[in-house]
Amino acid sequence: MNPRQHCLLCLQRTPAAPFEAALWIAAEHDPGVLPGDSLNRLQHLQLDVAHHLPILPPRELAQPLLRTLSTLGFQQEEYRPIRPQAALLDQVLQRRRGQPLALALLALEIAQRLAIPLEGVNFPGHFLLRVPGADYLLDPCGGRRLYPSDCRELLQRQYGARASLSAEHLAAATPAQMLQRLSRNLRHLHTQHDDYLAALVDAERVMQLGPVLSTDYLARAGLYQRLNCPQAERFDLEHALLLSDDPVQRLQLTERLEQLPLAPRSLH
């Protein structure tokens, strides 16, 4: 099997294995990545974390777990512009720096191994964690507790004062949703660093991992435009047009489609 197939197979297990799936995503970008080596490294980290945790009921260990990881050096990437390494799990394990989602995937894997209840939350702009049933969320970058007022402030800091917090923002994330979000992050980071072929690999994975948005088709269309693939670009623009509810965007997409060359007709 190739790395993509291994990744998808990890999500079909019971329970799913999103951390290992993310390692196969790293292997898809670098054939030299051996997920087994990273899993061995994780096993040593798990033992180190367990040694530092206080003696408390498992339900009370989620925040100490995140604080311990931070103390051991696992913190949010501060280098700007952010590089793809901040979202590739093998690199995050080695460098101990990463995006919130990458740090969350690491924490979720260790929590599962130590029987600590913890789940991911697909919060916009900054992936969060939660102990099931708790009235607060946890920042994977250090373990800070966030109550509804903190979440509202975080949302408005990223999307403006008019952004409104909703129940959808606080919903638990499935393993497939986490891997799709990771793929979107990598697509964006590779595009930012002009690695369009790598970004296209991520864009295609986004399409395989679950329901897609018009923005996903637009992102891939932009990559095809940079790679001079007008017919593939047309395919994605047409699908984005079908999914879009924005009249202005629909007009822009229609104009953009009119500028593309028509597909050559085959002779029969």
Structure tokens at 44: 């040593």
Cis, bond preceding 15 (omega within 30 deg of 0): yes
Confidence tier at 267 by pLDDT (50, 70, 90): low
pLDDT at 173 over 60: yes
User: In the chain, what are the domain boundaries?
Assistant: 3-170, 175-259
Confidence tier at 7 by pLDDT (50, 70, 90): very high
Measured in whole angstroms, the distance separating CA 192 from the mean position of its chain's CA atoms is 16
Average pLDDT over residues 151-178: 92
Total count of residues recorded for the chain: 268
87-117 per-position pLDDT tens digit: 999 999 999 999 999 999 999 999 999 999 9
One CATH from 1.50.10.20, 3.90.1150.10, 1.20.120.1750, 1.25.40.10 for 175-259:
1.25.40.10
Q: For the full predicted model, state whether its pTM sits above 0.85.
A: yes
- Is the backbone of residue 57 left (phi > 0), alpha (psi -120 to 50) or beta? beta
Half-sphere exposure of 225 (CA within 13 A, CB side): 14
Residues 6+ apart with CB under 8 A from 155: 123, 124, 125, 163, 165, 169
The residue that leads in pLDDT, 265 or 151, is 151
Half-sphere exposure of 38 (CA within 13 A, CB side): 24
Which of 23-32, 60-69, 149-158 is predicted with the least confidence, judged by mean pLDDT? 149-158
Helices (H), the chain: 3-11, 18-29, 35-52, 62-71, 89-95, 100-113, 148-159, 175-192, 196-208, 214-226, 230-243, 247-259
pLDDT at 218 over 90: yes
Of 18, 38, 166, the C-alpha closest to 105 is 18
Mean per-residue pLDDT over the chain, rounded: 95
Supply the pLDDT for residue 268. 52
For residues 113-130, one letter each, b for 16 or more C-beta atoms within 10 angstroms of the residue's C-beta and e for the rest, the string is: eeebbbbbbbbeebbbbb
Confidence tier at 80 by pLDDT (50, 70, 90): confident
Q: Is the Cβ–Cβ distance between 210 and 242 less than 8 Å?
A: no
Supply the pLDDT for residue 20. 98
Which of 44-58, 108-122, 197-211, 254-268 is predicted with the least confidence, judged by mean pLDDT? 254-268
pLDDT at 265 over 80: no
Q: Is the Cβ–Cβ distance between 104 and 120 less than 8 Å?
A: yes
pLDDT at 161 over 90: no
Q: What angle do CA 29, 36, 87 make, to 5 degrees?
A: 40
Q: Is the Cβ–Cβ distance between 139 and 100 less than 8 Å?
A: yes
222-246 per-position pLDDT tens digit: 999 999 999 999 999 999 999 999 9
pLDDT at 201 over 60: yes
Supply the pLDDT for residue 158. 87
Supply the pLDDT for residue 138. 98
pLDDT at 194 over 70: yes
Question: Could you give the CA distance from residue 215 to residue 53 in angstroms, rounded to a whole number?
Answer: 42
Q: 159-167, long-range: CB within 8 Å, 24+ apart, which pairs? A: 159/124, 159/125
